[in-house]
Structure formats: structure tokens, C-alpha cells
Amino acid sequence: MANLGRMTSAEAAAGPGHLLVPLGATEQHGPHLPLDTDSQIANAWANAVAERSSGWIVSPLIPFGSSGEHQGFPGTLSVGVEVLRSLVVELVRSAAHDFDRVVLLSGHGGNFVPVTEATKQLNAEGHDVRCLFPHWPDWADIDAHAGCTETSIMLHLNPDVVQATRIATGQTAPVNELMSVMRSEGIAAVSPSGVLGDPRMASAELGRQLFDDLVARTVNALG
Ligand SMILES: [Zn+2]
């Protein structure tokens, strides 16, 4: 499995021609998960996909995203919509000199608008780029943020960083009912703990199943 940051320029020139770019975030994930949860998930996702596919190199992770809705919680570092959109556009234009395909894997759902807009612009410029977000069409009970879904995946990927004694239920109303308040006032207005969902039933085994399903569908999608 090839990791671009650890290759020499000569090795990159001789290597396979497709690039996976993990996009993360640095934002609160409740009292029990670290600020780099989305970054860890994006990195693991990209590396697992590269291991199971031929011809893909993994780019260094982008650790900052569009996380304004989490800004009220200490430790959150957001670059906002416009900077992320520009960053993706410039990065893919640069990558296009050496890579014939680029796939962006975002661990943070809040990156959706800027990354989707950037991808549309790049496609219009003729670049072969697409963006994917964690998505489980065959599963019920996927929750939104620091809930059972993300906590289970972290228990599978890196259990040492999960502070199990601090796990508590968060705001469990459907996200679409909360969206307008979250957009105008931030996540703290609907969930004082920052959790959207209920992580109390999280398990490493569920995390393994969710992660393996995500990786398998991504490998299929890349063909
Ligand atoms: Zn997250």
C-alpha cells in the first residue's frame, strides 16, 4: 500500500496513477471521543480502500474542515466553507499533473457542501474527481455525530482513544428536525454535550461491520 507522504518524488513518478485524499476535521466529538475522530476515520478508510484496490496512492490527510457548527466547543478548528472549497479545487488541479483520477474521502459530513461544490467545478474543468462520504444504505439506526455509529467505528479502529466511562446519550431527535436550529445557532443549541445520537450501545464488533461495509462499497464504487 502506497502512502504519498512517505514516497520520494521518483517513486511517485514511477508509481500507480490514482490518488485517494482523506479529508478530516478537528472538532468536538462529545465527552468521550477525540477531536480528530473524523480525521482518524478518513485516514483508516483511505488506507483500507488502497489495500484492497490496485493502483491507488493515499495522500496525506487534510486535518481541517468546515466545522463552524461546532465552534462553541473548545478545541474545534474550522477553516470554513470557502477555504475548504478553494483548497480542494487547488489541490486537485495540482494532483492532476501526476494522477489521472482523484477520489476525496471525507470523514466529516459537514464538509459536504464545499467538497461537492469543488468537485462539480473540477468536473466541469475536465478533471476525473469524485467525493464520497460515509454512507450505509443497508443499515438502520445510523446516527449523526459522536453517537453509536462513530463510537463503534472508533472502538474498532483505535479503542485506546475512546473514554468509555464518559459515554452518555445525546440528542436523539432526527437530524433533519434539528438542522435549521443547528445551522443558525450551532450544535450546542440542540445538544449541550455535542453528541447527536446515543453511543451507549456502541461496540467494536458493530464498528468492524460498519467499517468493512463502507470499505467494501467504496472499493466497488472505484471499480
Ligand atoms: Zn465525526
Tens-place pLDDT, residues 124-153: 999 999 999 999 999 988 999 999 999 999
Does residue 66 contact residue 111 with C-beta atoms inside 8 Å? yes
**Interval between CA 33 and ligand 1 midpoint (Å):** 9
**Interval between CA 132 and ligand 1 midpoint (Å):** 15
**Interval between CA 14 and ligand 1 midpoint (Å):** 35
57 closest CA partner among 3, 128, 122, 120? 3
In sequence order, the 6+-apart residues with CB closer than 8 A to the CB of 140 are none
Spatial separation of the C-alpha atoms in residues 167 and 162, rounded to whole Å: 9
**Interval between CA 16 and ligand 1 midpoint (Å):** 30
Spatial separation of the C-alpha atoms in residues 42 and 59, rounded to whole Å: 11
Residue 28: CB atoms within 10 A of its CB come to: 25
Q: What is the pLDDT of residue 183?
A: 87
pLDDT band at 93 (very low <50, low <70, confident <90, very high): very high
**Interval between CA 8 and ligand 1 midpoint (Å):** 32
Strand duo 18-23 + 2-3: pairing? unpaired
**Interval between CA 37 and ligand 1 midpoint (Å):** 6
**Interval between CA 144 and ligand 1 midpoint (Å):** 8
Strand duo 56-58 + 18-23: pairing? parallel
Task: Give phi and psi for 95, each to the nearest 5.
Answer: -60, -30
111 closest CA partner among 171, 38, 209? 38
Classify 57 as helix, strand or coil.
Answer: strand
Q: What is the pLDDT of residue 1?
A: 58
200-to-152, 203, 208 alpha-carbon distances in Å = 10, 9, 17
Report domain extents, the chain: 2-222
- Arithmetic mean of pLDDT over the chain: 95
Q: What is the pLDDT of residue 16?
A: 60
Residue range 163-181, pLDDT digits in tens: 999 999 999 999 899 989 9
Residue range 10-68, pLDDT digits in tens: 888 876 689 999 999 999 999 999 999 999 999 999 999 999 999 999 999 999 999 99
Q: H-helix or E-strand containing 18?
A: strand 18-23
Spatial separation of the C-alpha atoms in residues 55 and 2, rounded to whole Å: 9
pLDDT > 90 in the chain, percent: 91
Q: What is the pLDDT of residue 14?
A: 72
**Interval between CA 142 and ligand 1 midpoint (Å):** 12
In sequence order, the 6+-apart residues with CB closer than 8 A to the CB of 6 are none
Q: What is the pLDDT of residue 129?
A: 98
- CATH: 3.20.20.70, 3.80.30.20, 3.20.10.10, 3.40.50.10310. Which one for 2-222? 3.40.50.10310
**Interval between CA 107 and ligand 1 midpoint (Å):** 7
The answer, yes or no, to whether residue 98 has pLDDT greater than 70, is yes
Q: Which residues surround the ion ligand 1 when the cut-off is CB under 5 Å?
A: 37-38, 150
Residue range 64-92, pLDDT digits in tens: 999 999 999 999 999 999 999 999 999 99
Q: What is the DSSP string of 62-121?
A: B--B--GGGTTSTT-BB-HHHHHHHHHHHHHHHHTTT-SEEEEEES-GGGHHHHHHHHHH
**Interval between CA 133 and ligand 1 midpoint (Å):** 11
